[in-house]
Structure 1
Amino acid sequence: MNAQPASIAETLEHVRARIEHADEAPTLDALAQFAGLSPSHLQRAFRRRYGMSPAEYHRARRFGQLKAALRDGAAVADAVYEAGFGSGSRVYENSDRLLGMTPASYRAGGAGASIRYTTTATPLGRLLVAATARGICAVTLGANDAELEARLAAEFPQAARERVDAGREEWLDAVIARIASELGWSDAAAPALPPLDVAATAFQWRVWNALTRIPAGETRSYGELAAAIGAPKAARAVGNACGNNRLALIVPCHRVIREDGTPGGWRWGVERKRTLLAQERRRATPPEARRKQG
């Protein structure tokens, strides 16, 4: 494949599609030859566009298939092979990093996993942040702590869930501080985002990565976001990926609206979405323009 006539975005999309349809992960050299790029150039460009290397993309795609099969009740051995892994040992070597637990544990509702969480008050209601030993696994909004804890229990009914007080868990506190800073609820500097421990399909990761590039105060339609990731006919799939986001405010799916400009749905409530978008627009408006509007 000659990369010169096509844009780099088109070339990368062809590479991504080749990985999608590969049973075994193509080597970087083979993909580079297919794309007409050097291996190092392809590696950098692919990571910049999709947020992961070609090898990580292939692995994430298979883990997404594995997770879906496990949640649907498939036997672990069947799910492992249906997702394209050559052996159970290969999936167990990496699954705790991508699922936060082994496949058998995930299928059993998180049995054997340990999740720490905390809640706090925000202008949008109560906020729950949860983490496994590998990273942040949930950020949710709700009316009260009981509602939030019930959602966490539904996702991981068999996991050991431990509530910790604010100020006693570095990762949880960092997420809360980052959200407060970025949304203007605090004047403190935003700390670095801790590692994430959320399993998803490769397509979902592409959508979520694109969501993080939408500036605060701006919105995109589902169609515009689909076009931005090189899949212009996948607006409905983009909507599903937004609906599967478990990291409220960290992955800003609230910035995606319907084609007609109406807010559309949001897992954490349409009224919260309207309020949040209005707050972000006000913060993004220069003070002088705000005074004229007032």
Structure 2
Amino acid sequence: MLFALPSDDTLYDALLARDPAWDGRAWVAVGSTGVFCRLTCPARKPRRENCTFHASIAACLEAGFRPCKRCHPLAGGTDPATADLLAALEADPGRRWTEACVAARGWDPSTIRRAFRRQFGMTFLTMARLRRLGRGAAELAEGGAVIAAQQAAGFESASGFRCAFARYLGVAPGTLARDGLLQADWIETALGAMVAVASRTHLHLLEFADRPALPNELRRLRAEAKGSLGLGRLPPVDAVAAELDAFLAGRGAGFATPLEPAGTPFQRQVWAALRAIPPGHTRSYSEIAAAIGRPAATRAVARANGANRIAVVIPCHRVIGADGSLTGYGGGLWRKRRLIEAERAYR
């Protein structure tokens, strides 16, 4: 599976041994060189502290690493169109791609959409856009000016960057508080980029960066904080990033980061019931309604489930239809399916 990886120590041993069993199942990103490789790469092996391991090529690309020229991790195992566009994206990660650009390279945009969704769970244009935004967000989180963030994200104009950033974060970069009570940052995961918002003590939001509801959720958070929302990484984000990494790699299902999900008393009651579902198990909406003593409130439970803004940690993905169908999920049904599959190891 995409993220059922063993410990980093085990993968590092496989890297040293050039174990072919892991070829195409895991990749190593080397912080000292900025490249990512197959575990069978013939190049000199990096030091352990410089290595991070990823379960997909997309995760390596989104984290800002470029493919190794010795082992060519993009070659093989992918169709020519996907390999061509991934290589083009790595060659120019700041480029603003459109479907016309894809067509100009000789590929049918609708075929490319299906191919990337099938392999990565997102379209090529979404992947390219998230990489640009991620670079810009990183620049701002480090205290850079808006123009520097715009350049890092590869946008031709500051207004273009502000519009794109507003679409994902719900606000223009220039209006973000430098020392906000709440700070937003990006987390790279095996399921794609996530946006996390925290105070110094609690996590307030954790959402997939391509979730359509994210801008509205961030606008509400900013209003709740009376405009005091900035960019940066506070301790709860570091904590949940480590927990997510362990969870998706199969090393542990526990989340201890303090949460502040807001919501009405009823919503908080539903979310508490979601956290009581053991990893590797699922419940229907009606079962959740019965568990909180409101058996007739199935629809209200479904609405509360959809209003959850702390994904994975408050596991709304564990709620399915009474007939066993996956039903809706804000992060995409493909993510819900993979989360449920991954959690079988925790039963």
- Could you tell me the TM-score, scaled by structure 2's length? 0.43
In the superposition, relative to structure 1, how do residues 154 and 234 fare at CA in structure 2: closer, same or farther (>3 Å)?
Answer: closer
Partner of 1:236: 299
Contact conserved, 1:116 with 1:161, CA < 8 A, in 2? yes
Determine the C-alpha separation between the residues in 1 that align with 2:222 and 2:261.
Answer: 13
Out of 310, 313, 323, the position equivalent to 1:260 is 323
Equivalent residue letter for 1:192: A
Q: Residues 237-268 of structure 1, C-alpha deviation per residue, up to 9 Å, x if partnerless?
A: 11011011011111101100011110010122
Aligned residue for 1:129, secondary structure, equals: strand
Determine the C-alpha separation between the residues in 1 that align with 2:216 and 2:188.
Answer: 17
Determine the C-alpha separation between the residues in 1 that align with 2:284 and 2:278.
Answer: 14
Unpaired segments ≥5 residues, structure 1: 1-109, 286-294
Contact conserved, 1:113 with 1:160, CA < 8 A, in 2? yes
Q: Residues 177-201 of structure 1, C-alpha deviation per residue, up to 9 Å, x if partnerless?
A: 12222x242748967322x333211
Partner of 2:229: 161
Alignment partner of 1:185 is 2:249: yes
Alignment partner of 1:126 is 2:193: yes
Contact conserved, 1:177 with 1:190, CA < 8 A, in 2? no
Aligned residue for 2:305, secondary structure, equals: helix
User: Which structure would you say has the larger RCO, counting Cα contacts within 8 Å and 6 or more residues apart?
Assistant: 1
Determine the C-alpha separation between the residues in 1 that align with 2:216 and 2:264.
Answer: 25
Partner of 1:197: 260
Determine the C-alpha separation between the residues in 1 that align with 2:217 and 2:300.
Answer: 24
**Structure 1 residue 164, shift from structure 2 partner:** 2.0
1:83-98 alignment runs, 5 A limit: none
Moved over 3 A (4+): 110-113, 146-151, 186-192
Aligned residue for 1:279, secondary structure, equals: helix
Alignment partner of 1:136 is 2:203: yes
**Structure 1 residue 229, shift from structure 2 partner:** 1.0
Determine the C-alpha separation between the residues in 2 that align with 1:191 and 1:229.
Answer: 22
In the superposition, relative to structure 1, how do residues 189 and 138 fare at CA in structure 2: closer, same or farther (>3 Å)?
Answer: closer
Q: Residues 69-90 of structure 1, C-alpha deviation per residue, up to 9 Å, x if partnerless?
A: xxxxxxxxxxxxxxxxxxxxxx
Contact conserved, 1:114 with 1:159, CA < 8 A, in 2? no
Alignment partner of 1:250 is 2:313: yes
Partner of 1:105: none
Determine the C-alpha separation between the residues in 1 that align with 2:216 and 2:272.
Answer: 28
Identity %: 37
In the superposition, relative to structure 1, how do residues 122 and 114 fare at CA in structure 2: closer, same or farther (>3 Å)?
Answer: same
Determine the C-alpha separation between the residues in 1 that align with 2:278 and 2:319.
Answer: 11
Aligned residue for 1:156, secondary structure, equals: helix
Determine the C-alpha separation between the residues in 2 that align with 1:130 and 1:150.
Answer: 14
Aligned residues: 170
**Structure 1 residue 272, shift from structure 2 partner:** 1.0
In the superposition, relative to structure 1, how do residues 190 and 236 fare at CA in structure 2: closer, same or farther (>3 Å)?
Answer: closer
In the superposition, relative to structure 1, how do residues 189 and 173 fare at CA in structure 2: closer, same or farther (>3 Å)?
Answer: farther
Contact conserved, 1:223 with 1:259, CA < 8 A, in 2? yes
In the superposition, relative to structure 1, how do residues 260 and 137 fare at CA in structure 2: closer, same or farther (>3 Å)?
Answer: same
> What is the root-mean-square deviation of aligned Cα atoms in Å?
3.2
Determine the C-alpha separation between the residues in 1 that align with 2:346 and 2:252.
Answer: 18
Determine the C-alpha separation between the residues in 1 that align with 2:255 and 2:283.
Answer: 27
1:1-294 alignment runs, 5 A limit: 114-133=181-200, 135-143=202-210, 152-153=218-219, 155-156=221-222, 159-164=227-232, 169-181=234-246, 183-185=247-249, 187=251, 192-194=256-258, 196-281=259-344, 283-284=345-346
Determine the C-alpha separation between the residues in 1 that align with 2:310 and 2:201.
Answer: 15
Equivalent residue letter for 1:224: E
Contact conserved, 1:263 with 1:274, CA < 8 A, in 2? yes
Equivalent residue letter for 1:160: S
Equivalent residue letter for 1:244: A
Q: Which moved more, 1:154-163 or 1:222-231?
A: 154-163
Determine the C-alpha separation between the residues in 1 that align with 2:185 and 2:250.
Answer: 19
Q: Residues 6-26 of structure 1, C-alpha deviation per residue, up to 9 Å, x if partnerless?
A: xxxxxxxxxxxxxxxxxxxxx
Unpaired segments ≥5 residues, structure 2: 1-175
In the superposition, relative to structure 1, how do residues 271 and 171 fare at CA in structure 2: closer, same or farther (>3 Å)?
Answer: same
**Structure 1 residue 142, shift from structure 2 partner:** 2.5
